[in-house]
Amino acid sequence: MTKQPINVNSEIGRLKTVLLKRPGKELENLVPNYLQRLLFDDIPFLKEAQAEHDQFAQLLRDEGVEVLYLEDLTAESIADPMVRGQFIEDVLSESKKTIQGHEEEIRNLFNSLTDQALVEKVMAGVRREDIQLETSHLTEYMRHPYPFYMDPLPNLYFTRDPQAFIGNGVSVNQIHWSARRRETLFIDYILKHHPRFADADIPIWYDRHMPYQMEGGDQLVLSKEVLAIGISERTSAPAVEEIARKIFEQPNSTFKKVIAIEIPNTRAFMHLDTVFTMIDYDKFTIHSAIQEMSDQFSIFIIEPDGDDIKITKSDSLKETLEEALHIENVELIPTGDGDPIIGPREQWNDGSNTLTIRPGVVVTYDRNFVSNQLLRDKGIKVLEIKGSELVRGRGGPRCMSQPIYREDI
């Protein structure tokens, strides 16, 4: 363990440590009637999704990246019986709406499991048939249409959103949709109780109990001085202002500017990283429709101003990035080369949601072959993974990864 286990001062510095979540039984608890409730459009085939994810993880290892798994870190964090007991109580407390008063039965189920199995069950969800109830009242004989006492968490393999490692600190996010809010409990326990992090005095830039929604897909670390945060369907303007103030107030923080980018409030523009991602010092992938919709994007530059902040409006994303990053010419590369058919198709399959593992080297889905070739033509090294099943959750390699440590650039 190092003194500073967290170091993320860019989107492109050589990736050294990453947090993943291998798809698990939570995907097998997706059913057609409740896809919308659980924020899915389709049902991935678990066996193939796991094989694709394993390929992703192995590619990262082959590139020298240490791969940590959310499920393993959480299980290691609750090894102490007191911590484990509190973890169970927190899970029950945050699932009251669906538990319907059956806390004791579910608590007994959890207490019968090993630490690893407990974590996996919390992630997979508790089906009604998982617990045996004594039927002493008429209501208990009634068949309930909803099959779960505790919802599954099928979005967990998108480790980008519940938290964001920024600088040497962490934003533990307040997720927009209730279907995902329980996800942030895992990183909360990891930071407080895992030996890798617990004694490291890690700054918490944002807390999961804050009243304003924010998600990691909207948080981009452009440099050690500049953050970009999307104001989107899932991240609110008050949240952006709150985290900017907190980061500016921290004496050891190197960040001097937050670029707030308001994007259309639709699922197609779910997060800022579906609009653009940084792939090299001067290159970004962008949503294929961004140029046609430029009038729907508002850009605000937030900077410290004594004990307060100042906010300046900007009209050009390209010029804002060039000025903030001190680069003469930023190149924005559209998904599908901007083609009106190919662009939207590959954007739907997360063509612009790339994970940069070092400057000019990215991981993408192989299915976005036009976008991938365009990146190669621009001098980018593209490492492809299969994405036939993983992509059904509507997220790409950046969505599926949470960098914990990058080398500085």
Strand bridging mode 331-334 / 283-286 = parallel
Residue 98: predicted pLDDT: 81
Q: Which amino acid is at 378?
A: K
Which of 262, 238, 258, 236 has the alpha carbon at shortest distance from 248?
A: 258
Residue 269: predicted pLDDT: 76
Residue 323: predicted pLDDT: 96
Q: What is the pTM of this model?
A: 0.95
Give yes or no for a contact between 192 and 200, defined as CB atoms under 8 angstroms apart. no
Residue 169: predicted pLDDT: 97
Residues of the chain with pLDDT under 50: 1-2
Residue 288: predicted pLDDT: 80
Residue 1: predicted pLDDT: 44
Residues 6+ apart with CB under 8 A from 198: 191, 192
The Cα 35–Cα 155 span in angstroms is 11
Which of 332, 338, 336, 333 has the alpha carbon at shortest distance from 350?
A: 336
Residue 99: predicted pLDDT: 84
Point out the catalytic residue in the list 259, 399, 400, 404.
399
Residues recorded for the chain: 409
What's the CA dihedral at 321, 326, 327, 332 to 10 degrees?
A: -10
Give yes or no for a contact between 182 and 238, defined as CB atoms under 8 angstroms apart. no
Give yes or no for a contact between 122 and 155, defined as CB atoms under 8 angstroms apart. no
Q: Which amino acid is at 409?
A: I
Write down the mean pLDDT value for the chain.
93
Helix (H, G, I), strand (E, B) or coil at 277: strand
Q: Is 399 marked active-site?
A: yes
